[in-house]
């Protein structure tokens, strides 16, 4: 990887070493910029973190689908084209997860931490930031921003934060599971036998459901009742929407057939947590039940009767700003452009999306180092550009956190068969990314997006080159 020799006179401050901050710091340093990376842990932790490592994953060990035609898979490949630290570390620490990219949390965070600590262009300061440093700043403090800095940001924006509650799924000891009941398979056979599956009959499901909906939960105040993010609802909240709702959500049995050929009424999936295969997490089983109730109810799942829990589910408050009101297309605060935001505090949802905003902040900052004018924004029909479109063009009154999805992209503008739409979105995105990179002066190579279902030809192996910038 070559680097750009045009650097800013003063270091860029990146506040927060989660996924967004880690990616941003690495991208800047790899392009020759001096970086000061601030992280308050371990001196001061958060309700969700448990280690001092950078890029610690707290809610899940999954970075979502790795299918190159899925919006999340497309976003990964766009990030890899620019030499993403987060995606590279994730692939090195990957654990079996079917068509998803999931990681051994400890190995992943350790790899990111080591890379950043050893980079000669990065100075790490382990202390809490209570006010914005001088110069250019990327605030990547995440949804659990410390109270002092959150107050400072709120004062600057002149408005209160929006917020919602997020839930964390339980993790169980592998050797406490009953493998005579569980069976290995991935849905529709995609990815091999990467998941453990707990099949339920209708009678077992009905009993589980009845106990789940009457379990004691941690109460929220009246005005907080509707503040859960739809993409990460607690399992008991989903259940209250109807008796069969779980069978069409996290417990759907379609595509999963036990060895005896039976057709289960519902299935609970467990995904491998670490490379040692000693821990598994319950997929989609985020919860705000009390810990005693979680143990009681979850042990009703076939195969989990004697389950030992490494971690039980919990909830925590996530904070984000109303980005369409406060951010421009380069992630700068309209009221103070020297300050940028990255990560979940902007209103993107998910580890992958958070890292992507850190990467794009770094690309724009690198371009600004060599020009007096603002760089051309990435097109909204790329995955990276679509995220920025969501953050800046969504009507402010309707703004809510979102994962990457094709609904955020510019429409195709063509009548095309449903089964071919994802491939069309992916191909167009590749072509637009290569074109933008060429105009901006970045040297990138996109991996071919070819699959058995829908080969793409026009963009496969596409490149954009320049001597000025590279990844």
Q: How far apart are CA 247 and CA 249, in angstroms?
A: 6
CB 256 within 8 A of CB 187: yes
Which of the residues in the chain have pLDDT under 70?
A: 1-9, 42-50, 143-144, 159-165, 219-232, 316-317, 448-471
Give tens-digit pLDDT for 108-122.
Answer: 999 999 999 999 999
Please tell me the class of the 167-317 domain. mainly beta
Per-residue model confidence (pLDDT) at position 225: 46
**Quick one: which H or E segment has residue 164?**
strand 162-168
- Sketch the domain layout of the chain as residue ranges: 12-161+321-464, 167-317
Q: What is the CA radius of gyration of the chain?
A: 22
Residues 6+ apart with CB under 8 A from 135: 10, 11, 12, 13, 338
Q: Which two tokens stand for residue 6?
A: 């045009």
Per-residue model confidence (pLDDT) at position 188: 85
Q: Which two tokens stand for residue 170?
A: 């339980």
Per-residue model confidence (pLDDT) at position 220: 57
Number of residues assigned to the chain: 471
Burial of 307 (0-12, 13-18, 19+ CB in 10 A): buried
- Which residue do the tokens 């605030």 mark? 139
Q: Which two tokens stand for residue 187?
A: 């849905």
**Quick one: which H or E segment has residue 347?**
none
Per-residue model confidence (pLDDT) at position 8: 63
Strands 137-139 and 12-15: parallel
Backbone φ and ψ of 415, nearest 5° = -85, 120
Q: How far apart are CA 425 and CA 58, in angstroms?
A: 31
For 201-322, strand residue ranges (E) read 266-272, 279-282, 309-311, 314-320
Per-residue model confidence (pLDDT) at position 451: 42
Give pTM, 2 decimals: 0.76
CATH fold for domain 12-161+321-464: FAD/NAD(P)-binding domain (3.50.50)
């Amino acid at each position: 990887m070559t680097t750009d020799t045009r650097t800013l006179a003063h270091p860029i401050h990146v506040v927060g070493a989660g996924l967004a901050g880690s990616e941003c710091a690495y991208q800047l340093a790899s392009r020759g910029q001096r970086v000061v990376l601030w992280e308050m842990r371990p001196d001061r932790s958060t309700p969700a973190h448990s280690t001092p490592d950078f890029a610690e994953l707290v809610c899940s060990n999954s970075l979502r689908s790795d299918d190159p035609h899925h919006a999340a898979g497309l976003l990964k490949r766009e990030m890899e084209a620019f030499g993403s630290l987060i995606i590279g570390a994730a692939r090195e620490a990957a654990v079996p997860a079917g068509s998803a990219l999931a990681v051994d949390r400890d190995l992943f965070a350790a790899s990111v931490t080591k890379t950043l600590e050893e980079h000669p262009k990065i100075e790490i300061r382990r202390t809490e930031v209570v006010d914005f440093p001088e110069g250019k700043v990327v605030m990547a403090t995440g949804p659990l921003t410390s109270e002092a800095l959150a107050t400072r940001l709120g004062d600057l924006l002149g408005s209160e934060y929006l917020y919602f509650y997020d839930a964390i799924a339980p993790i169980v000891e592998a050797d406490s599971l009953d493998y005579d009941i569980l069976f290995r398979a991935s849905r529709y056979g995609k990815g091999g036998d990467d998941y453990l599956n707990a099949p339920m009959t209708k009678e077992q499901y009905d009993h589980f459901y009845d106990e789940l909906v009457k379990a004691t939960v941690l109460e929220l105040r009246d005005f907080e009742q509707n503040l859960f993010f739809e993409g990460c609802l607690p399992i008991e909240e989903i259940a209250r929407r109807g008796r069969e709702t779980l069978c069409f959500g996290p417990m759907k049995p379609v595509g999963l057939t036990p060895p005896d050929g039976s057709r289960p009424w519902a299935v609970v999936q467990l995904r491998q947590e670490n490379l040692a295969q000693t821990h598994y997490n319950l997929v989609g089983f985020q919860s705000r039940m009390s810990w005693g109730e979680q143990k009681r109810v979850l042990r009703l799942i076939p195969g989990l009767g004697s389950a030992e829990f490494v971690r039980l589910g919990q909830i925590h408050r996530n904070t984000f700003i109303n980005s369409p009101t406060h951010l421009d297309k380069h992630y700068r605060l309209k009221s103070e452009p020297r300050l940028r935001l990255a990560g979940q505090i902007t209103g993107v949802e998910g580890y992958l999306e958070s890292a992507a905003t850190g990467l794009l902040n770094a690309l724009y900052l690198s371009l600004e180092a060599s020009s007096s004018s603002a760089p051309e924004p990435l097109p909204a029909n790329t995955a990276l550009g679509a995220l920025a479109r969501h953050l800046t063009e969504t009507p402010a009154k309707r703004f809510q956190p979102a994962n990457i999805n094709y609904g955020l992209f510019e429409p195709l503008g063509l009548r095309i068969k449903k089964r071919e739409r994802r491939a069309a979105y992916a191909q167009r995105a590749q072509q637009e990314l290569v074109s933008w990179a060429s105009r901006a002066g970045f040297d990138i190579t996109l991996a071919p997006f070819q699959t058995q279902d829908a080969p793409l030809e026009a963009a496969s192996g596409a490149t954009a080159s320049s001597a000025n910038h590279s990844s």
